[in-house]
Amino acid sequence: MSVVTTKMQGDIAVVTIDNPPVNAASQAVRQGLLDALRATEARQPAAVVLICAGRSFVAGADIREFDKPFLEPMLPELLNAIEAATRPWVAAIHGTALGGGCELALACSHRIGAPTAKIGLPEVNLGLIPGAGGTVRLPRLIDPIEAARLAVTGKPVSAAKALELGLFDRLAEGDLLAAAIALAKDAATQPRPEPLLTRAAPKVDRATWDAAMAKLTAKARGQDSPHEAAAALRDALDHDGVTALGLERARFMRLKASPQSAALRYIFFAERAVGKSPRTKDVPPRPLARIGVIGGGTMGAGIAASALLAGLGVQMVERDTDAASAGAARVEGILGGALNRGLISEAKHAAALARFDAASDYATLADADLVIEAVFEDMAVKKQVFAALEQACKPEAVLATNTSYLDVNEIAASVTDPSRVIGLHFFSPAHIMKLLEIVVPEAVADDVLATALHLAKTLRKLPVLAGVCDGFIANRIMSSYRREADYLLEDGALPHEVDAAMRAFGLPMGLFEMQDLAGLDIGWAARKRRAATRPASERYVDIADHICEAGHFGRKTGRGWYLYGPEGTPERNPDVEALIVAESARKGITRQSFTAEQIMTRILGCMQSEGAAILSEGIAASREDIDVTMVNAFGFPRWRGGPMFMQTA
């Protein structure tokens, strides 16, 4: 069956695209649309409605075609032809109209949206700009700065906002097709709006424009495409539509061939490829309606809030009633924050609170389908919790640990049925961070793994599967490059130099600033715990230990790797720098200076060799697992794809 069909409904032609899953504008769709255009031009209906089957309007060009030569008909020419049609075309939009889908809607003479629809130009997220007239037509339809906001930030807008901006002519009350046909009938009786391409460019004062673009591109941090999108929009204001279209196309083609776009497209597909296991194919998950969370600290509260916001019931358990009240207050704080910021309605807030309870009694977990412990990182404590869970929970309940590095096989072996135990490593703040490392112990049952993946989906998290080892994927790589950064200090670099190199690379924060923010005492405690098992031959840098021994734990004590004044801005710490120089001397190391590039070559090389070890040991199944983890756990710049992608790109 053709992916594009045309049927008459009275005197209106209804053209339907049906190309699951997201109606991407593949070659077949483009050809189908061209055929539909020719047929409707020949038949001359009163008007044409363009609608999509399935869950969405066209969600963009087919990204999978981008690595191959483009096939005719090309999207820009097709859209020009649709815009030049003699009959009105009404785009009826539900789900998402993104990228080429938004551009298709702009080529139509009218647009109507379902109230839940979203529309936008997300090409920048793939290292691109719109390449089929988006930057040219949109500023000729709506306020050019608002048009730039869509193209430069890549963030879509809601149907209500699209109506307010003038991007939609109407919102559909009730049935979308019926409402679109009504609009098409109205359009057939009215003069055609002038095609956007031939409209005069709107005038925007240069200074106002530049200030707006500076604001919109402020967060680009090394990524080119937002700047390119802003420049394309400016071209569209400075030139007639046809000339601007040529400039946009040239820019699009150049960016499509760029390493940044290759990296961003890789990570787009990588994020959709991870979190799948052949073991769970055709294995239904266990029921999941109410979960238990042990521990009401920052992590436990974040996990609880995330589950409540996803519609699950949550029973929190703390060691006594005071701790339970404090944990409950943390959860209520997160939910209240979401309400105040307009992220959830009053009704959703009330319903989430109604599904929540905090207590000090494990017996309250009797009906929990899955329990996640988020208590202190200590094997003995974890085993005690699991022993209590075994007593309190129903036998089919999944028991999960949120440990970030402890041996999940050992935890599993401590209960009678180890097949029910799995690792669910959330990242802080757990209600915001998307990554969820699912740690798969040897004895785990397939349906327990399926339940963990189902939980990730319910919580709208990005699951990555990891094997059991110290630190799994995320913290194992983090520990290794942290160690390398410490070696760099002894070898001649200073903390601000390492941090500046990391920021210049595109990371949001340097490693030492990050440690100061998290608190140096956390890593110190972990190092002390591991001291007994650390091989004597291993190179060990004790600078951080000396800082902690002096009672300096980072931001919270005003001193750490840096000094913090009342403003909270990190300043170089002369005492620490003297300590570093003294440590190099004590170890007989001749200090040398490093360029930012040399620093990053060492840090990146270290991430890559640890990643290679993780792959060869089977801790991660693919390089995608590692790259997705690095991008989503530690802010590794998406536009570089990830350390493993960089090694092979």
Q: Which residues bind ligand 3H9 (CB under 6 A)?
A: 21-22, 24, 59-64, 75, 96, 98-100, 103, 122-123, 126, 128, 130-132, 134, 272
From the list 64, 176, 173, 52, the residue with the least C-alpha distance to 105 is 52
Give least dist CB 24 to ligand 3H9, A: 4
Looking at the Cβ atoms of 256 and 420, the one nearer to ligand 3H9 is 256
Q: What six digits make up the tokens of 56?
A: 């969405």
From the list 141, 143, 121, the residue with the least C-alpha distance to 131 is 121
Give least dist CB 507 to ligand 3H9, A: 24
Looking at the Cβ atoms of 37 and 489, the one nearer to ligand 3H9 is 37
Please, what sign has the CA dihedral across residues 413, 418, 420, 422? positive
From the list 20, 649, 620, 636, the residue with the least C-alpha distance to 273 is 620
Give least dist CB 59 to ligand 3H9, A: 3
Q: Give the DSSP H or E segment for 349.
A: helix 346-354
Looking at the Cβ atoms of 62 and 318, the one nearer to ligand 3H9 is 62
From the list 376, 354, 367, the residue with the least C-alpha distance to 300 is 376
Q: Which residue has the tokens 């839940």?
A: 116
Give least dist CB 270 to ligand 3H9, A: 10
Looking at the Cβ atoms of 45 and 120, the one nearer to ligand 3H9 is 120
User: Cα dihedral angle (302, 303, 305, 307), rounded to 10 degrees?
Assistant: 160
Spatial separation of the C-alpha atoms in residues 359 and 87, rounded to whole Å: 66
Give least dist CB 452 to ligand 3H9, A: 19
Give least dist CB 271 to ligand 3H9, A: 8
Give least dist CB 308 to ligand 3H9, A: 22
- Give the full edge-to-edge strand order of the sheet including 398-401: 356-359, 313-317, 290-294, 370-373, 398-401, 421-426, 435-439, 462-466
Q: 641 — phi, psi (to 5°)?
A: 85, -35
Looking at the Cβ atoms of 269 and 376, the one nearer to ligand 3H9 is 269
Looking at the Cβ atoms of 91 and 328, the one nearer to ligand 3H9 is 91
Looking at the Cβ atoms of 254 and 272, the one nearer to ligand 3H9 is 272
Half-sphere exposure in the Cβ direction for 368 (13 Å, CA): 28
Specify whether the CB–CB gap between 421 and 386 falls below 8 A: yes
Q: What six digits make up the tokens of 631?
A: 């991008």
Give least dist CB 87 to ligand 3H9, A: 25
Looking at the Cβ atoms of 154 and 637, the one nearer to ligand 3H9 is 154
Please, what sign has the CA dihedral across residues 245, 99, 626, 475? positive
Spatial separation of the C-alpha atoms in residues 85 and 68, rounded to whole Å: 30
Residue 30: exposure state from Cβ atoms within 10 A (0-12, 13-18, ≥19): buried
Looking at the Cβ atoms of 131 and 510, the one nearer to ligand 3H9 is 131
Cα–Cα separations (whole angstroms), residue 526 to 284, 329, 470, 477: 38, 28, 12, 16
Looking at the Cβ atoms of 182 and 270, the one nearer to ligand 3H9 is 270
Give least dist CB 255 to ligand 3H9, A: 10
For β-strands 421-426 and 435-439, DSSP reports them as antiparallel
Give least dist CB 76 to ligand 3H9, A: 6
Give least dist CB 169 to ligand 3H9, A: 22
DSSP, res 46: S
Looking at the Cβ atoms of 71 and 329, the one nearer to ligand 3H9 is 71
